[in-house]
Amino acid sequence: MNFPGIKQNGKFQCPPAIAEQMRIYWARVPEGTRVIKSMKVPRANKSGEQLGAIWGLMIAQAVKALDDYGYDTSFLYNLPKPTGVGITSDDLCMYLYKACPIWSEGKIITLSKASTSEAAKFFDDARNFIASQWGIHIPEPDPNWKLTKEQ
């Protein structure tokens, strides 16, 4: 069971209705039952700008460059013969998840579960990997991309 609240004056505080639900839940647990108590600070979700930078900038530019170089999926999967199948954004993303894993609480996660800082680290790691391994330069995201897009 998860009960949301805040730390206030050094203690866990929650609204009265949640405190009542906690009391009811705890009363239903039989005596002698092993329980686990945990606390977690919720993380900020990825911003639309971050996802736009990752998908619209980095992945799209890398896929286009690899296509311009004439690479197909055999390049990513290290196959001896060409497949004739172009590299898609999803193919490249899955490859980058393996090359630049996102770790959270001892587990590898994907962008859908990543926090803002984890998504930013993935962008930097993947961008550096793409540059060092394939010679593809991905520029820093433009903080004014919305303004330049509208003009």
- Based on the fold, state whether residues 74 and 137 are members of the same structural domain: yes
Read off the pLDDT of each residue in 87-113 and give the average, rounded to a whole number: 90
Q: Measured between alpha carbons, how far is 11 from 8 in angstroms, rounded to an integer?
A: 5
Which pLDDT score, from 0 to 100, does residue 43 have?
Answer: 61
Which pLDDT score, from 0 to 100, does residue 32 have?
Answer: 92
Asked whether the predicted pLDDT for residue 50 surpasses 70, the reply is no
- Based on the fold, state whether residues 58 and 101 are members of the same structural domain: yes
Distance of CA 151 to the CA centre of its chain: 31
Domain of 141, in residue numbers: 48-150
- Based on the fold, state whether residues 11 and 85 are members of the same structural domain: no
Which pLDDT score, from 0 to 100, does residue 82 have?
Answer: 92
- Based on the fold, state whether residues 64 and 126 are members of the same structural domain: yes
- Rg of the chain on CA atoms, in Å: 23
- Backbone CA torsion sign across 97, 98, 104, 107: positive
Closest CA to 78 of 61, 93, 95, 63: 95
- Based on the fold, state whether residues 90 and 66 are members of the same structural domain: yes
- Based on the fold, state whether residues 97 and 135 are members of the same structural domain: yes
Identify the bridge partners of residue 21 per DSSP, sorted by sequence position.
Answer: none
State the total domains in the chain: 2
Which pLDDT score, from 0 to 100, does residue 110 have?
Answer: 86
- Based on the fold, state whether residues 69 and 34 are members of the same structural domain: no
- Based on the fold, state whether residues 28 and 73 are members of the same structural domain: no
- Based on the fold, state whether residues 97 and 122 are members of the same structural domain: yes
Asked whether the predicted pLDDT for residue 138 surpasses 70, the reply is yes
Query: At 118, is the pLDDT very low, low, confident or very high (cuts 50, 70, 90)?
Result: confident
Q: What does DSSP assign to residue 130? A: H
Query: At 139, is the pLDDT very low, low, confident or very high (cuts 50, 70, 90)?
Result: confident
- Based on the fold, state whether residues 55 and 4 are members of the same structural domain: no
Query: At 37, is the pLDDT very low, low, confident or very high (cuts 50, 70, 90)?
Result: confident
pLDDT tens for 51-81 read 666 777 788 889 999 999 999 999 998 999 9
pTM of the model: 0.62
Which ranges in 15-59 belong to alpha helices (H)? Answer: 16-28, 48-51
10 Cβ contact partners less than 8 Å away, ≥ 6 residues apart: none
The DSSP-derived string for 9-26 is TTEEE--HHHHHHHHHHH
- Based on the fold, state whether residues 99 and 29 are members of the same structural domain: no
- Based on the fold, state whether residues 59 and 5 are members of the same structural domain: no
Which pLDDT score, from 0 to 100, does residue 35 have?
Answer: 86
Query: At 12, is the pLDDT very low, low, confident or very high (cuts 50, 70, 90)?
Result: confident
Q: What angle do CA 3, 8, 14 make, to 5 degrees?
A: 25
